[in-house]
Structure 1
Amino acid sequence: MAEPQDRAQEREELEEIVRSIGRPDAFVLHEVIRRTGNEELRRHGGALFLSAFAAGLSIALSLIVPGVLKRYLPAADWAEVLVRMGYAVGFLVVVLGRQQLFTENTITPVLPLLHDRTLKAAWRLARLWAIVLAGNILATAAIAAVIAHSGAFPPEIQRAFAEISHQTIAFGFWATVVKAVFAGWIIALMVWILPATGAAATFVILLMTWLVALLGLAHVVAGSVEAFYLVLTGEASLHDYLWRFFLPTLLGNVFGGVALVAALNFGQVAPEVEEKKDADGTG
């Protein structure tokens, strides 16, 4: 019974840090995110999967809302800017609802691995990634099938969905990798700075994910809804999904989140982390 009590105490400590940080320095941000990552790594596999599945369903709003806006707004540059703002809706629901999204997990649970650097920590991270990615992708396939074949959306909105979705498979392998690196970098930066934003969190999520849409970048979960939509409507093949979208986007998102944010931001606080580990006798 000691473990649940320890977890409850750590959660209370984490919440106290978040309440008191004001404008935190890099080390405090690192500690907040690392402790959050430890919480995620200890969650039950079934709970992780259900949360990831819910996130995969919710992220479909990042196709549905832009599609509806595209249908009703005029064909103009200013209208396209508003259409792409709709992309942020799915991310707002996922992040504010504390659902498990794979690209968030390229930073939050990575910090415990960088902190501990043990095989056990690596295994826990691999387990989390596998569960969350599986839940996200299965849900995107399910919701894409509903969007494509339920008859819930009229033909003119379906055409808007198809037009938006074709952008996910319109580029070559390495171009998609690069676009995904930038997307992973931006989403991971968002996760890194969120503990410091307080009441402005909604604005930060909106701004950062809108930027991903404006730049036409590749996100492995949101883009899977679009790519699966094309597969299920016969406008693309499963091979297109796997090799023109999923694999290059997954590689790019992971590199952008892990290498450009988690590792680099850990590097700036690594000396303080090692000093604290030595002081605690855990080094």
Structure 2
Amino acid sequence: MVTQTDDKTADLSAEEQQDVDKNQPPRAAVLHEIIRTQGDQELERSVAALWWSALAAGLSMGLSLMAMGLLTARLPDAETFKVISSFGYCAGFLAVILARQQLFTENTLTAVLPVMSKPTLANAGRLLRLWTVVLVGNLCGTLLVAYVILHLPLFDAKTDLAFLDIGRKVMENDSGQMFAKGIVSGWMIATMVWMIPSMESAKFWIIILITYLMALGDFTHIVVGSAEVSYLVFAGELPWEDFWLVFAGPTLAGNIIGGSFIFALISHAQVRSESSVPKPAAEPRQAQRSKKAP
């Protein structure tokens, strides 16, 4: 006859049970608190610290444009080779995230959770301050990189043409497509940010997986895309009006909705729902001893 146990397997020692508990994946509430704490720390940083970190992130994001252009220029002219050249898209994200620089789309989740946990006017003001400084810093960095790549004799003619083709590919989307693809991109970046604390040792591969899929799907990202599209502007192929109205505005709105109003809101609601469920009372130690007694 098999006797049913309530919570723990009867033949596990205390040390073995500790091993079981230690190897359990963290609950969603733990991930939420890790990211919320990180976001609260970011909201406390000074404007100067945020600005220089965001500018550095924008410059680092130029690596995505450079890597994709170099790979595209050195691969045969076939759409099937996009599966290889798309790996270049990961370069900027790896540099920014591993170097702990400020990326706007990361903050659509990280800095939003403290505001959702404590929705006050002061917290909302701190969030708008961070978003403004980081976004402006990121865009200044990417525009500077695009200008330098175009005007300095850094690459051969074939690579320069590849940079133009990358920007043209982005601008094949109309504003509605920019917005819709931006939602998916913002959601994917938020997913990446949520995954990293639970598997810190696999951070490198998580970043590559998510950003590689973004490149394959041609999903629009406000920071990387600003380097790609501004290259067209500086080359005289696109007016600034189209940069802001067709690309930047819709993509930015989509990234914010995907990262903040979809992923962050759902994740926060999940944790709030878990915390509202009352936990069972702990069993008194005396009762536990009596169960173990023969």
- Deviations, residues 61-109 of structure 1 (Å, cap 9, x unaligned): 1110010001111123442101011100110000111000000000001
- Deviations, residues 167-214 of structure 1 (Å, cap 9, x unaligned): 222111111100100000101110111101121110000000000000
Tell me by how many angstroms 1:244 deviates: 1.1
What's the counterpart of residue 172 of structure 2?
170
* SS class of match (1:87): helix
What's the counterpart of residue 120 of structure 2?
118
Pair 1:236–1:22, CA change in 2 (3 A): farther
CA contact (8 A) 1:21 1:196 kept: no
Count of aligned positions? 257
- 1:142-157 mapped onto 2 (5 Å cutoff): 142-157=144-159
Match for residue 163 of structure 2 among 145, 161, 164: 161
- 1:237-248 mapped onto 2 (5 Å cutoff): 237-248=239-250
Q: Distance in 2 between matches of 1:71 and 1:97?
A: 28
Structure 2 unaligned segments of length 5 or more: list them.
1-21, 279-294
What's the counterpart of residue 185 of structure 2?
183
What's the counterpart of residue 51 of structure 1?
53
Bigger CA radius of gyration: 2
Q: Distance in 2 between matches of 1:77 and 1:169?
A: 18
Q: Distance in 2 between matches of 1:120 and 1:168?
A: 37
Asked if 1:226 corresponds to 2:228, the answer is yes
Letter in 1 for 2:140: L
CA contact (8 A) 1:22 1:196 kept: no
- 1:32-181 mapped onto 2 (5 Å cutoff): 32-181=34-183
Pair 1:236–1:48, CA change in 2 (3 A): same
What's the counterpart of residue 198 of structure 1?
200
Pair 1:21–1:144, CA change in 2 (3 A): farther
Letter in 2 for 1:142: L
Q: Distance in 1 between matches of 2:215 and 2:141?
A: 21
Tell me by how many angstroms 1:156 deviates: 1.1
Asked if 1:250 corresponds to 2:238, the answer is no
* SS class of match (1:30): helix
Tell me by how many angstroms 1:272 deviates: 4.7
Structure 1 unaligned segments of length 5 or more: list them.
1-19, 277-283
Pair 1:196–1:21, CA change in 2 (3 A): farther
Tell me by how many angstroms 1:37 deviates: 0.3
- Deviations, residues 192-241 of structure 1 (Å, cap 9, x unaligned): 11101121110000000000000001000000001110000001110110
CA contact (8 A) 1:169 1:240 kept: no
CA contact (8 A) 1:115 1:273 kept: no
Q: Distance in 1 between matches of 2:68 and 2:244?
A: 24
Q: Distance in 2 between matches of 1:85 and 1:22?
A: 33
Q: Distance in 2 between matches of 1:273 and 1:114?
A: 15
Q: Distance in 2 between matches of 1:134 and 1:96?
A: 21
Q: Going by fraction, where is helix more abundant, 1 or 2?
A: 1
Tell me by how many angstroms 1:273 deviates: 5.2
| Percent identity (aligned) | 43
Tell me by how many angstroms 1:274 deviates: 6.6
Tell me by how many angstroms 1:271 deviates: 3.7
Q: Distance in 2 between matches of 1:123 and 1:275?
A: 32
Q: Distance in 2 between matches of 1:22 and 1:143?
A: 44
* SS class of match (1:81): helix
* TM-score after normalising by structure 1: 0.88
